[in-house]
A and B are shown apart, each in its own frame.
Chain A
């Protein structure tokens, strides 16, 4: 279900996607690409959890991106939203840029995350393993960066370039809006000092990575497992950066098992 939530007295209008009706709350923080109108992996998780997936300001119909300058503004946006949705704490799952923001959110207030799942999160930079420049990638190069198999139906569907000019313009404008916002956390290098704060994360934490992630190489998992006490790592085979689309059952299983355990 998609509803509109007015946050902070209308400062932000939030396009809120929800899945499922019962179970513990699960807050999903999407990556730089944003949410699709319907997300099958969230639907699956909705069987066991009450899933809240807000579109970040600047994405879809969510407004207020002009109030967001940095990761602190982003983390506070989520803190306020959780209060408004009556969630003093929740299971927090973040993918890519959303993983970076989820880690920031949990580091700033360690009590917010009941459990934390970071799915191939951004947030660190290793000189010897540079992350490719996603912002400079051409539309026809994106599939190869994001997917284990760029020719798979999932990859083709998610990276299709519309042939109709009007549709292309709509897609282009939406892409610009989303990535312009993402740039506030990721441009030109996706490191905003998380290394200084990650030790504050106290919740049980699972790191999930696609074995053949070409955008953020799996070697970055160590940066998280070494800094977050007790963090576990699950690597999913035959999956790239968009592992929840490429290997949905395996992805849903590791997340569900961890949150349920």
Chain B
């Protein structure tokens, strides 16, 4: 079993009446709800949290891409991965990923991923999501009916740019390049492992199976609701005669560890509420642009992650329901160990993408969650799937060859002021100034 510490980087201070007052956390979220000074603190807190996860022995650190989104402040996850590449030396960097249909030309992604792979000493996992309808169609204007075709073409170009030993020309429908000559080239040859994050489109299963890519189901519904999609994936794998290797699947799951089950509720319940009722408050009209999902996927009856139907399913859920229905795996270390093992077996998953900073969770609680998980949970679940080989993690440079950044010297006066102010203090200050 492998553990990725996955960050969404939410804005932690959406107002209490957000859901009543505004129609969406995504696409048309009011700009005045974002304060850059608070944002400054949050980015730095979040990078601290990822770096802490590295020091606590997580196998990988995960970041992803969203646009105009109040719960995902990473329009460019590559910037976060670049910062992490310098400040970490152990964990792999799972960038899940770059929505490759959005980049013109997509060769930019091949270049930036190659840079990250080189800087990090071959620690990169390259994620290629189709991307959500909110991101691709509404924020970046891609015509829904052409999105998948653009995506496949971008994929072909990027992978070819990594693999081809010689310069070549690429005459695509959406991208035409006379000289494709990737420079620098990735440390991992022929290319970093490719993981495809998905929300449940049936085409993605075929695509992963056909290319032997890892399928990462980024669900916010937990492992019980995720079972239908996981089964769909494993059915496709079985039909194609592929090895049913759990490491060929990743699954995002909210995990919240505390001293006891009761304490877990006290610690995390408000943040679950913030996440589901503010972060996932997405206007239904943005959830699924006509043509974004194929008719095949619609007919498969797979529920979208956001929008009215999704919101209805989790309406009025309380902590107890979130726990029972598997939205969150929470409780004492013992409870979480047992539940996590059962969950990963239930969906046959080898790569857990643990969401450990939920919604409005402050840094000290994130640290506690991370530390308890690393010391009291992970060691007891790690043996799961030991009979399988993980063929989807980076083949990195030997540890003793990975560069160590030179120490930096901050002016102590400046550092003092900046590091003691919390995001909450910045937020309070900004609010009272208004």
**Which residue of B286, B290, B293, B299 is within 8 Å of A183 (Cβ)?**
B290
- Inter-chain contact B145/A183, CB cutoff 8 Å: yes
Q: Does B144 contact A (CB under 8 A)?
A: yes
A141 (CB) vs chain B CBs: closest residue? B285
Shortest distance between the CB of B141 and any CB in chain A (Å) = 4
A186 (CB) vs chain B CBs: closest residue? B143
Shortest distance between the CB of B288 and any CB in chain A (Å) = 8
Q: Does A137 contact B (CB under 8 A)?
A: yes
CB-CB under 8 A from B137, the residues of chain A are 187-188
Per-residue A-contact encoding for B124-153, CB less than 8 Å = 1, 0 else: 000000000000011001011110000000
CB-CB under 8 A from A138, the residues of chain B are 284-285, 308
**Which residue of A141, A184, A189 is within 8 Å of B145 (Cβ)?**
A184
CB-CB under 8 A from B308, the residues of chain A are 138
Known contacts A173-B299, A184-B143, A187-B141: A136-B285 contact under CB 8 Å: yes
Q: Does B365 contact A (CB under 8 A)?
A: no
Q: Does B289 contact A (CB under 8 A)?
A: yes
Q: Does A16 contact B (CB under 8 A)?
A: no
Known contacts A173-B295, A184-B146: A179-B141 contact under CB 8 Å: no
- Inter-chain contact A172/B143, CB cutoff 8 Å: no
**Complex: A141 Cα to B143 Cα, angstroms:** 22
**Complex: A180 Cα to B283 Cα, angstroms:** 19
Known contacts A138-B284, A187-B137: A180-B298 contact under CB 8 Å: no
Q: Does B190 contact A (CB under 8 A)?
A: no
- Inter-chain contact A187/B143, CB cutoff 8 Å: yes
| Residues of A107-133 contacting chain B, CB below 8 A | 133
- Inter-chain contact B285/A183, CB cutoff 8 Å: no
Known contacts A183-B290, A187-B141, A187-B143: A177-B285 contact under CB 8 Å: no
B289, B291, B295, B308 — most chain A CB neighbours (10 Å): B291
**Which residue of B286, B290, B295 is within 8 Å of A179 (Cβ)?**
B290
- Inter-chain contact A188/B290, CB cutoff 8 Å: no
**Complex: A175 Cα to B285 Cα, angstroms:** 14
Shortest distance between the CB of B97 and any CB in chain A (Å) = 23
- Inter-chain contact B290/A135, CB cutoff 8 Å: yes
**Complex: A175 Cα to B293 Cα, angstroms:** 12
- Inter-chain contact B295/A176, CB cutoff 8 Å: yes
B145 (CB) vs chain A CBs: closest residue? A180
Interface of B is mostly: helix
| Residues of A130-188 contacting chain B, CB below 8 A | 133, 135-138, 141, 169, 172-173, 175-184, 187-188
Shortest distance between the CB of A76 and any CB in chain B (Å) = 17
Per-residue B-contact encoding for A189-206, CB less than 8 Å = 1, 0 else: 100000000000000000
A65, A138, A178, A180 — most chain B CB neighbours (10 Å): A180
Shortest distance between the CB of A30 and any CB in chain B (Å) = 16
CB-CB under 8 A from B145, the residues of chain A are 65, 180-181, 183-184
- Inter-chain contact B298/A172, CB cutoff 8 Å: yes
Known contacts A172-B298, A180-B290, A183-B291: A136-B144 contact under CB 8 Å: no
- Inter-chain contact B141/A188, CB cutoff 8 Å: yes
**Complex: A69 Cα to B146 Cα, angstroms:** 8
- Inter-chain contact B144/A187, CB cutoff 8 Å: yes
Shortest distance between the CB of A164 and any CB in chain B (Å) = 16
Shortest distance between the CB of A157 and any CB in chain B (Å) = 22
- Inter-chain contact A177/B295, CB cutoff 8 Å: yes
**Complex: A135 Cα to B138 Cα, angstroms:** 10
- Inter-chain contact B286/A136, CB cutoff 8 Å: yes
CB-CB under 8 A from B138, the residues of chain A are 136, 188
CB-CB under 8 A from A69, the residues of chain B are 146
**Complex: A9 Cα to B87 Cα, angstroms:** 62
Shortest distance between the CB of A56 and any CB in chain B (Å) = 13
**Complex: A141 Cα to B291 Cα, angstroms:** 20
Shortest distance between the CB of B229 and any CB in chain A (Å) = 19
CB-CB under 8 A from B290, the residues of chain A are 135, 175-176, 178-180, 182-183
- Inter-chain contact A135/B289, CB cutoff 8 Å: yes
A32 (CB) vs chain B CBs: closest residue? B290
- Inter-chain contact B291/A176, CB cutoff 8 Å: yes
**Complex: A172 Cα to B293 Cα, angstroms:** 12
**Complex: A183 Cα to B147 Cα, angstroms:** 11
- Inter-chain contact A183/B298, CB cutoff 8 Å: no
Shortest distance between the CB of B139 and any CB in chain A (Å) = 10
| CB-based closest 8 A-B pairs | A180-B291, A179-B290, A136-B285, A188-B141, A180-B145, A176-B290, A187-B143, A180-B290
15 A–B contacts from the bound complex (CB under 8 Å): A135-B285, A135-B290, A136-B285, A136-B286, A137-B285, A141-B285, A169-B298, A169-B299, A173-B295, A176-B290, A176-B293, A183-B291, A184-B145, A184-B146, A188-B138
Given pairs A179-B291, A180-B290, 8 additional interface contacts (CB within 8 A): A69-B146, A136-B286, A173-B299, A175-B290, A176-B295, A178-B290, A183-B143, A187-B141
